[in-house]
Amino acid sequence: MADALERQARALLTAAAVRARAEQMLERGLTGGLSHFTIDLGRMDGVAEAVLAVTRQAYPTLDIPFHARWRHFVLGGVDRWARLADTASWPDRAARARAEFDLAIVSVLLDAGAGAAWRYRDAETGHAMGRSEGLAIASLEMFAGGLFSHDAGSPFRADANALAKLPLAALTTAFQVTDNNPLLGLEGRADLLRRLGKLVAKRADVFGLHDTPRPGGLFDHIAAHAVNGALPAPAILSAVLNELGPIWPSRLELAGVPLGDCWRHPAIQANDATKGLVPLHKLSQWLSYSLIEPLQRAGFTVKDIDGLTGLAEYRNGGLFVDHEVLRLREPADAERGHAVDSLLVVEWRALTVALLDRLAERIRANLGRTPETLPLASILEGGTWAAGRTIAFSRRPDGSPPLKVISDGTVF
């Protein structure tokens, strides 16, 4: 019985489970069966037009990269990481890939919502940035400066022991946090990196195959599963969820398996112990998208990009609320703060994942593309995230999302 329960738990640590249960939530909503949202698919064409408009503006040739952490390291047309990496001396392609895994993992874990007030001032340009862009450049500067390395002579790495002992004060300074420049969830971020360091140190069999234990050792673990140099994208997510899952703050567990970004909602039906459970794995999927390019640069072919799902976060979710595809049953809910485990937020996030699949079909049809020539990862980048932010700023001066989520710095 225990083995069966563990199998059921592990099945939730997959993109397929995210997609299937999000679709189930959407189907329930389309029949009026959800407690917080109604759904108007008639407004989806308007969303598609908005996404196509920002996509054509940002990528006129429609040669669109993946929605990944690497995009945020480009500032003023300069790819800050490529500039560093291309001039560094790497013994082989795998060494660069480990460094890029280190950077992506640490940077993504630091990139939960920043809040509307926080800004990071870039020393090179003097430009002040908020939200994801600011968090990205700040984390890149930390990495390039060797904050996460145990060897001052080798800054481009994140070591288990350095992460495990990372002082909150170091992050506070690096993020330029003051009373007048507050960053949401800073302690949660620091704790997450320390958890990461402790886990990696314990699991040298995964993270230390070709080096001392470091998050970037996950590259070697994933690469070892390639068949004829090819890897399916969902396998990257499975590795991220199964190997990094224990770092997340204790939430739901099943058979001793931590379920990560997974929540309860009574609309979800199943014939086993996973009934009522809604996996979303937003940060883990964004991290997985961000690990594709280092694998490709190291010579691997990554297949089935669309095996991953859209991301259940506030820009994609806000896109559908602001365009009124999703409408609150109780308008006053727009003024209240909602916990991440509330039924309203769980509904919103699951519906977002399912609606992104429907939206992708419309966008591909308009452009004459296929999932292979325009994967969901590129539609998100083109795309939905930017369109969500554009309409947010047109509706609210600070660009805040249409719904207020009480974040601990580890989900959004």
**Which pLDDT score is estimated for 412?**
47
Give the pLDDT mean for 18-31: 98
**Does 163 score more than 60 pLDDT?**
yes
What CA–CA distance (Å, rounded) separates 119 from 178? 10
DSSP letters along 156-204, please? S---HHHHHT--HHHHHHHTT-BTTB--TTHHHHHHHHHHHHHHHHH-H
**Does 152 score more than 90 pLDDT?**
no
Handedness of CA 84, 90, 92, 98 (dihedral sign): negative
Give the pLDDT mean for 21-35: 97
**Does 246 score more than 90 pLDDT?**
no
| Tens of pLDDT, residues 262-305 | 999 999 999 999 999 999 999 899 999 999 999 999 999 999 99
Q: Which one has a higher pLDDT value, 188 or 150?
A: 150
Decide if 227 contacts 191 (C-beta within 8 A): no
What single-letter DSSP state applies at residue 247? G
Q: Specify burial of residue 130 (Cβ count, 10 A radius: 0-12, 13-18, 19+).
A: middle
**Which pLDDT score is estimated for 203?**
96
Handedness of CA 353, 358, 363, 367 (dihedral sign): positive
**Does 187 score more than 90 pLDDT?**
no
What CA–CA distance (Å, rounded) separates 174 from 150? 17
Indicate the pTM of the whole model: 0.93
* All structural domains of the chain with their residue ranges: 2-406
Q: How confident is the model at residue 20 (pLDDT cuts 50, 70, 90)?
A: very high
Residues paired with 257 in a beta bridge: 254
**Which pLDDT score is estimated for 25?**
98
**Does 409 score more than 70 pLDDT?**
no
| Tens of pLDDT, residues 302-332 | 999 999 999 999 999 999 999 999 999 999 9
**Which pLDDT score is estimated for 133?**
86
Q: How confident is the model at residue 99 (pLDDT cuts 50, 70, 90)?
A: very high
| Tens of pLDDT, residues 330-358 | 999 999 999 999 999 999 999 999 999 99
Share of the chain above pLDDT 90, in %: 84
DSSP letters along 125-157, please? T--EE-HHHHHHHHHHHHHHTTTT-S-TT--S-
Look at the chain and count its residues.
Answer: 412
For 400, phi then psi, to 5°, come to -70, 155
Q: How confident is the model at residue 408 (pLDDT cuts 50, 70, 90)?
A: low
Cβ neighbours of residue 365 under 8 Å, at least 6 residues apart?
A: none
Tell me what the pLDDT averaged over the chain comes to.
94
Q: How confident is the model at residue 251 (pLDDT cuts 50, 70, 90)?
A: confident
Q: How confident is the model at residue 248 (pLDDT cuts 50, 70, 90)?
A: confident
Q: Which one has a higher pLDDT value, 55 or 113?
A: 55
**Does 131 score more than 90 pLDDT?**
no
**Which pLDDT score is estimated for 1?**
62
**Which pLDDT score is estimated for 95?**
97
Closest by CA position to 352, among listed 371, 326, 372, 373: 326
**Does 79 score more than 60 pLDDT?**
yes
